[in-house]
């Protein structure tokens, strides 16, 4: 006997709900994203271990599974709900939190960086590549890592809070710059102008999501 999987897709939210063919219960809630490093990926919230509480079926196990072109079924979260209560009573102040004078936390919104979203900063931070903030050319140093290639430059950051690495290739009439996330491009352009004094004529794209500004 074969089972047919049913799914419902919402065009506005760009999310898909996939139902378990054996039980007809929601099994996977899938969202899609264009990862700035890895490309097109899916994030699946997988629901299992359904239990009945007052006649209503609730999932008890929640798993967040990330799928990329390079790796599938990477489990990011996995937790079990042991206690389920329907319509519990809460004090009317339960969700109000602490007042400003009772909290030690200073509520400051994250700083905005031109042309870079907070989501993109979060993606680079989760991959330990960038935690936000913009590097300036004065904190960059260039070296020639290959002795036989004196015009191949490796740019590094002197600021330990802003890790940075960039490949630059110098030629007689111009410079080729390898791709870089947007928070690095302005500083790279400035370093080339200050130190090599040649125009950037080519951009070496290694990732289709890369850009230089």
Quick one: which H or E segment has residue 203?
A: strand 200-204
Model pLDDT for residues 30-83, shown as the tens digit of each residue: 999 887 677 788 999 999 999 999 999 999 999 999 888 777 778 888 999 999
d(Cα 87, Cα 68) in Å, to the nearest integer? Answer: 38
Residue 165's pLDDT band, with cuts at 50, 70 and 90, is confident
Highest mean pLDDT: which of 101-110, 116-125, 138-147? 138-147
| Average pLDDT value for residue range 152-181 | 80
Ranges of each domain in the chain: 6-80, 133-204
pTM above 0.85, yes or no: no
Do residues 142 and 188 make contact, with C-beta atoms less than 8 angstroms apart? Answer: no
DSSP three-state, residue 180: coil
> What pLDDT is attached to residue 1?
46
The answer to whether residue 168 scores a pLDDT higher than 60 is yes
Is the CA virtual torsion 140, 188, 166, 42 positive or negative? positive
């Amino acid at each position: 006997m074969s089972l047919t999987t049913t799914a419902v897709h919402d065009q506005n939210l760009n999310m898909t709900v996939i139902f378990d063919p054996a039980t007809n219960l929601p099994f996977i809630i899938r969202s899609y994203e264009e990862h700035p490093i890895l490309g097109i990926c899916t994030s699946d919230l997988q629901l299992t271990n359904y239990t009945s509480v007052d006649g209503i079926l609730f999932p008890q196990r929640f798993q967040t599974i990330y799928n990329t072109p390079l790796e599938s079924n990477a489990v990011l979260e996995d937790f079990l709900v042991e206690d389920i209560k329907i319509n519990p009573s809460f004090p009317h102040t339960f969700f109000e939190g602490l007042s400003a004078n009772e909290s030690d936390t200073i509520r400051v919104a994250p700083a905005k960086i031109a042309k870079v979203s907070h989501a993109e900063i979060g993606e680079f931070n989760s991959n330990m590549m960038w935690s936000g903030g913009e590097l300036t050319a004065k904190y960059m140093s260039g070296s020639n890592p290959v002795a036989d290639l004196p015009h191949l430059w490796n740019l590094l950051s002197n600021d330990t809070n802003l890790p940075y690495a960039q490949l630059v290739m110098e030629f007689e009439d111009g410079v080729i710059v390898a791709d870089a996330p947007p928070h690095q491009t302005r500083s790279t352009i400035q370093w080339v102008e200050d130190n090599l004094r040649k125009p950037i004529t080519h951009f070496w794209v290694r990732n289709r999501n890369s850009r230089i500004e």
